[in-house]
Amino acid sequence: MKVAGKHYRTIWMDSKTGEVSMIDQNALPFSFEIFIARNYQDTCHAIVTMITRGAGAIGAAAGFAMAQAFMEGARGEGRGVNSADYTLEQLFFFDKVRKEIEATRPTARNLFYATERVYNAGLISVESAIREAQLLADQNIADAKQIGEYGSKLVHNGSRILTHCNAGWLGFVDYGSALAPLYIAKEQGKEFFVYADETRPRNQGARLTAWELQNEGIPHKIVPDNAGAYLMSQGLIDFVIVGADRIASNGDTANKIGTFEKAIVAKEFGIPFYVAVPFSTIDFSLTDGSQIPIEERSEDEVLTYSGPDSEGVMRTIRMASPGSHALNPAFDVTPAKFITGFITEKGLVKPEELADFSLDKPLKH
Ligand code: MRU
């Protein structure tokens, strides 16, 4: 997508130097900055601190981090760049780094999908690791665009749409998942309105989704997280669309905390609830959502609030009762029965059809 007329991917890697550049999502929407990760540790730091975030972007970052580790591990005298040349020490290193990367954001399925793919490629050669990581980033864009094409059919002139968190292009390498259909619909000349949940505690909706929508010229309003039931009861929402961080084979879906509540309310009011995801977010090794690990983040995210003061200096203030502690689960799991359909790169899939698909199987209808 474009920022001030210039096209950007959310994250990219220089195959020669191994440097990974990413849009700093903690600086947005107040300033537009690029963070450069010179090694896999920097990239892991960026994932943990949410400089880069969102299922798809985390996946790309994890793939790049794994490739950086192969570049680093294979550097130096007497060390090979092909599997046959790897020493035991190098192999231990690659394995250790893979575990380190996978510990950064445990709920995000795309992260594990990417580390596995790049790790296996890296065992062939360093070159293969780099190629695979770049390929995953390109695939991420292609899938997101396809999701956008299919999902745009659900958007009509006058549609009023509710979304939660940020599943826009910042959450992927480009286009996004939940917002991709809206970008394509906008390109098709459709006029519609978006309500963006603020998405406490980190406010990805108020900060990132709102910034993206504004950037694309899509009319929208930020709404408090607890306004969903009211809006739906007033007949103000035609459908809900969200992204996902991990989906079990039965369709149970982990997404940003608060998603589950929206899905229950949507069902109560007979409002369609869509989840937009690439198949790389589906974890076919899990039978249901109870097996999805839920990341718990620092209580500071709940107890404090950050933003620029009148001079533009970033400040963090406490906004909760001093002495109280907070619980901060980052995700919840929406049972499949509340989900109308998954908008995927292979088309619209009903929850009960999901298990029939794997990455290699084409959609039957
Ligand atoms: O904790 P975050 O901001 O990385 O949250 C993940 C998400 O971006 C959302 O849950 C999103 O809706 C899914 S995918 C972009």
Residue-wise DSSP of 261-294: HHHHHHHHTT--EEEE--GGGEETT-SSGGGS--
Measured distance CA(229)–CA(268) in Å, rounded: 9
The alpha carbon of residue 285 and the mean position of all alpha carbons in its chain are separated, in whole angstroms, by 20
Task: Tell me what the mean pLDDT of segment 315-342 comes to.
Answer: 97
pLDDT band at residue 355, thresholds of 50, 70 and 90?
A: confident
Tell me which residue has its CA closest to atom 10 in ligand 1.
256
pLDDT above 70 coverage of the chain, percent: 95
Ligand 1 site, residue 334, Cβ cutoff 6 A: no
Task: Tell me what the mean pLDDT of segment 208-234 comes to.
Answer: 98
The pTM of this model reads 0.94
Measured distance CA(221)–CA(195) in Å, rounded: 5
49, 58, 199, 256: residue to mutate for ligand 1 pocket, most atoms within 8 A of CB: 256
CA distances 226 to 59, 172, 200, 315, 330, Å, are: 30, 26, 10, 26, 17
Ligand 1 site, residue 54, Cβ cutoff 6 A: yes
In 3D, which of 337, 340, 347, 355 has the Cα closest to residue 150?
A: 347
Ligand 1 site, residue 199, Cβ cutoff 6 A: no
Q: Which residue is associated with the tokens 């933003």?
A: 307
Ligand 1: nearest atom to the Cα of 177: 15
Task: Tell me what the mean pLDDT of segment 196-211 comes to.
Answer: 98
What's residue 357's pLDDT? 80
CA distances 220 to 148, 181, 205, 232, Å, are: 18, 15, 11, 16
Tell me which residue has its CA closest to atom 12 in ligand 1.
243
Strand-strand pairing, 347-349 and 341-344: antiparallel
Ligand 1 site, residue 330, Cβ cutoff 6 A: yes
Ligand 1 site, residue 171, Cβ cutoff 6 A: yes
What's residue 193's pLDDT? 98
Ligand 1: nearest atom to the Cα of 331: 10
Task: Tell me what the mean pLDDT of segment 157-174 comes to.
Answer: 98
Known active-site residue 245: yes
Residue-wise DSSP of 106-128: TT-HHHHHHHHHHHHHHTTBHHH
How many CB atoms sit inside 10 A of residue 284's CB? 15
What's residue 215's pLDDT? 96
Please state, rounded to an integer, the average pLDDT across all residues of the chain: 95
Task: Tell me what the mean pLDDT of segment 287-313 comes to.
Answer: 96
Query: What are the structural domains, with CATH classification, of the chain?
Result: 2-143 (1.20.120.420), 154-356 (3.40.50.10470)
Task: Tell me what the mean pLDDT of segment 213-222 comes to.
Answer: 97
Q: What is the pLDDT of residues 68-92, one digit of tens each?
A: 999 999 875 444 566 668 999 999 9
What's residue 356's pLDDT? 85
Q: Is 60 exceeded by the pLDDT of residue 18?
A: yes
What's residue 75's pLDDT? 72
Task: Tell me what the mean pLDDT of segment 199-221 comes to.
Answer: 98
pLDDT above 90 coverage of the chain, percent: 93
In 3D, which of 255, 292, 289 has the Cα closest to residue 274?
A: 255
